[in-house]
Amino acid sequence: MANDPPVLMFLMILIFIGFGALLYLLFRALFGSKNWRVADGVVLRTKTSSSDSVGSLPAYNAHIVWSYVAGQQTYPGEMAIAYFSARTAQQVIETYQAGTAVKVYFNPRKPSQSTLRIKSPGTWILWIVTVLSTFGFFCIVMAAGYLVFD
């Protein structure tokens, strides 16, 4: 390794750091609100929409708007969840009709940041893609190290 080109080592370190940052953001997105506080809220309105924002596949969005009280202040919250099935998006909307009481999870450091915990049927796909891409990434790095450094 003493004769390795420093540029290649630097490039591999940058790739590792970039991939680590990507994994960090993924896990933060999935589990970032796990330790947030819970408040009682109410759904204000819902709607569904469709788009073709996921490649050429249609995406059906369930939009939910709610309000909740944290401390002495009332905050609004909203989210849009994309599904590949119009039926699934409609089922979510039917579950969260206007006036429905909900548990709202909010960030205690920034109470205006909130979410609802809605089980997404596509989460397992995200896990499979993460595991496979991690495995593939390390195979590529190992192969590159073998080819370049030997």
Q: Residue holding tokens 């630097």?
A: 10
Our CA dihedral for 119, 121, 123, 127, rounded to 10 degrees, sits at 140
The pLDDT tens digits for 116-142 are 876 555 566 666 777 777 777 777 777
Helical ranges in the chain per DSSP H: 6-31, 86-95, 123-149
- Write the CA distances from 115 to 28, 44, 90, 118, integer angstroms: 14, 14, 19, 9
Domain ranges (residues) in the chain: 1-32, 36-118, 120-149
Query: SS3 for 70?
Result: strand
> Whole-angstrom Cα distance, residue 140 to residue 74?
50
For residue 54, the Cα-to-chain-centroid distance in whole angstroms is 15
Q: Topology of domain 36-118, per CATH?
A: OB fold (Dihydrolipoamide Acetyltransferase, E2P) (2.40.50)
Contact 81, 61 (CB under 8 A): yes
Q: Which of 42-46, 103-107, 127-131 has the highest mean pLDDT?
A: 42-46
Mean pLDDT computed over every residue of the chain: 79
Instruction: State residue 54's pLDDT score.
Output: 53
